[in-house]
Structure 1
Amino acid sequence: MSAFVEVLSLGGTIFMTEDARGESARPDDDAGARLLAAVGGDVELRPRALANISSSDVRPHHLRAVLESARAAVDSGAAGVVLTHGTDTLEETAFLLDRFWDREAPLVVTGAMRPASAPGADGPANLRDAVRAATAPSARGLGVLVVFDAHAHLADRVVKASSRGVSAFASEPSGPLAIVGGEDLRLLHLPLPRPARSGGLPPDRFPAVPLLTAGLDEDLALLDHLPAEALAGLVVDGVGMGHVSPAAMPRLRRLLGEGVPVVVAARPFGGGTSTHHYGYPGSEVDLLDAGAVMAGLLPAPKARLLLQVLLASGASADGIRAAFEAYAS
């Protein structure tokens, strides 16, 4: 059986068109066929539409369908798999899929910042580059990649850095993994070993894990109205290296004392959380002493997903801590 690339689609801007004024982009079921025809190339593309929705509407069952379809395609001879997806939550989907992707063949996620009907639409080039990455020898064994604007990013590192520009994605702290072009990737650095895979499929439903943002004079008083039994866990997007107001500490200590896992991420784009730089009330040292877990290089949305997957699998407190240590900064 000759090699091919399976092109799965959940929709997103790449498969949207605008109204007559060039505004208000909406899903267009015909945009996918036009896009695939525009890409062309020597590789056989086998499209399969799983949904045509905005990325804010992606649910766990969509991601289960992606994994099942992608695994089946690779097991049937696909050289790799491409997934088109809206950009708003693309980094989260890529990260979650990477936790479960257990094939050597690449699973490449891409999308577009400009609708298919817009002048200078970036979807065709991104899809072409994603197909190239899906067949690239250097991409094998790297897990899930995000390809955008001629660059490939690791799922663990990629973040959406612009809400408007076509160079919408970046990787911190390493920068992009590779430049996409020709028959193989041009690697810019060697990636670290991938953290352990979870196996199986994502949960049908994610446990309730709110994400709260720390900031000036933020004492997380909302927690007074959220009983511990209503929370499976909590993620706090902390300031600096992962800090909260001293006034928030009694509330976090209460949750931790009741057995609710608390993970603290860092709001700044680069650098991640620390474990030892500061020892004042509300600092990372204070949080660790209280029993919190630091997210390391994971931004808060990815930390939330990881905690949800761990909780759904019944992970212990030690198991949760060990999983996050793989991302220590």
Structure 2
Amino acid sequence: MGATRTVAVYSLGGTIAMTTDPATGGVVPALSAHDLLAAVPGLDGHGLELRVHDFRRVPGASLTFDDLTELGAAVDKTLAGGDVDGVVITQGTDTIEETAFFLDLHHGHEQPIIVTGAMRNPTMASPDGPANLHAAVLAAADPRLRGAGALVVLNDEIHAARHVRKSHTTSPAAFTSPGAGPIGRIAEDGVQLTAALPHRYDPLVQPRSRQVRVGLYTVSLSDDGELLAAWDGRCDGLVVAAFGVGHVPQRLVESLERLAAGIPVVLSSRIGNGPVLTRTYGFPGSEKDLISRGLIPAGNLGPYQARLLLHGLLVQDADRETIMEKFSLFAY
């Protein structure tokens, strides 16, 4: 890679940083960022300077908006100095896709942010953490990924934050990008791009301290709407993970219309691959019917991503028109 390149590494915990707890016999986050890097062979030969930040030691499932807001602010400050070529985040895989998209929404720098983790903890016979961290550091230092935003690197594959999903509970190849595929791979210690870098959008401003609650409601067979009604008055915004291209049972329609009259209600699909339609089906509870009643289509965003975007907009006190405009950018 030529001259020395600098990568900042922030560790948050997760499986990649877990060791056995003698008290319980289970594994818990315990390893520091320095511990993780010490277990990675071969990094010394790449002319890299690593700046290590032991940021959190928690399971991925326990990360909060406050954690990610503080992380985003720290990364922003690091990159604003101009002497860091990229950033690596290590964390638990449970929420990697959400962390990556959250960071991508607020990322306004050219340097890439690479999020990685492990499916197999260090006490197992074949832990994948060292290989994933090695690949992530090389990706963060590679100038070919400048301008790519936030990315996820595991199993030597590079995924855009907008498309990546955790699609298996245990496989080392758990991360996929349905409908898009990875944008590249790590091979022979370098980045090999197989697709164009992801399109970037104007970043959201860094979140303020204002607390908002965005609910996620998944529609299911024979849904009677009782649990949907429980959200009334308890959230500032709601994402509905509907059937198929954006359909719900007819008995839910009036409740959704009432909710949409008071708060932003975003219509997404529980499938997580493909867009919500806007003008094809016309029966009560169809996407056309729901949009006419005030619901905002999520476009190609899955329900978890839609919730993060809606949260980021509500923290800024965005009005309905702004929310609709932002979601329209992800239509296809």
Q: TM-score range by the shorter chain?
A: over 0.9
Give the secondary structure class of the aligned counterpart of 2:94.
coil
Separation in 2, partners of 1:24, 1:318 = 49
Give the secondary structure class of the aligned counterpart of 2:214.
coil
**Cα distance per residue 1:143-193 (max 9 Å; x no partner):** 011101000111111111111111111112111111112454211111452
Tell me if structure 1 keeps the 8 A contact 2:60–2:92.
Answer: yes
Paired residue for 1:82, among 69, 80, 88? 88
Alignment match, 1:52: 57
Separation in 1, partners of 2:235, 2:324 = 18
Paired residue for 1:16, among 8, 15, 18? 18
Give the secondary structure class of the aligned counterpart of 1:305.
helix
Distance 1:248 1:6, change over 3 A: same
Give the secondary structure class of the aligned counterpart of 2:86.
strand
Tell me if structure 1 keeps the 8 A contact 2:218–2:240.
Answer: yes
For structure 1, which runs of at least 5 residues remain unmatched after alignment? none
TM-score (norm 2): 0.92
Residue 296 of structure 1, CA deviation: 1.5
TM-score (norm 1): 0.93
**Segment of structure 1 superposing worse, 239-248 or 69-78:** 69-78
Paired residue for 1:73, among 78, 86, 93? 78
**Segment of structure 1 superposing worse, 219-228 or 295-304:** 219-228
**Cα distance per residue 1:117-151 (max 9 Å; x no partner):** 21110000000000011011210001011101000
Q: Which amino acid aligns with 2:247?
A: H
1:244 aligns with 2:245: no
For structure 2, which runs of at least 5 residues remain unmatched after alignment? none
Separation in 2, partners of 1:82, 1:198 = 21
Distance 1:157 1:198, change over 3 A: same
Residue 27 of structure 1, CA deviation: 1.1
Tell me if structure 1 keeps the 8 A contact 2:313–2:323.
Answer: yes
Alignment match, 1:271: 274
Alignment match, 1:130: 136
Residue 69 of structure 1, CA deviation: 2.4
Tell me if structure 1 keeps the 8 A contact 2:160–2:198.
Answer: no
**Cα distance per residue 1:263-290 (max 9 Å; x no partner):** 1111113212111221111111111111
Tell me if structure 2 keeps the 8 A contact 1:2–1:77.
Answer: no
Separation in 2, partners of 1:136, 1:34 = 24
Residue 2 of structure 1, CA deviation: 5.0
Tell me if structure 2 keeps the 8 A contact 1:136–1:183.
Answer: no
Separation in 2, partners of 1:2, 1:73 = 17
Separation in 2, partners of 1:90, 1:305 = 13
Residue 195 of structure 1, CA deviation: 2.1
Alignment match, 2:257: 253
Number of matched pairs: 325
Paired residue for 2:67, among 62, 69, 81? 62
Alignment match, 1:38: 39
Tell me if structure 2 keeps the 8 A contact 1:13–1:87.
Answer: yes
Separation in 1, partners of 2:172, 2:25 = 17
Tell me if structure 2 keeps the 8 A contact 1:295–1:328.
Answer: yes
Separation in 2, partners of 1:126, 1:325 = 34
Residue 205 of structure 1, CA deviation: 5.2
Paired residue for 1:120, among 123, 126, 138? 126
Separation in 2, partners of 1:316, 1:7 = 36
1:172 aligns with 2:178: yes
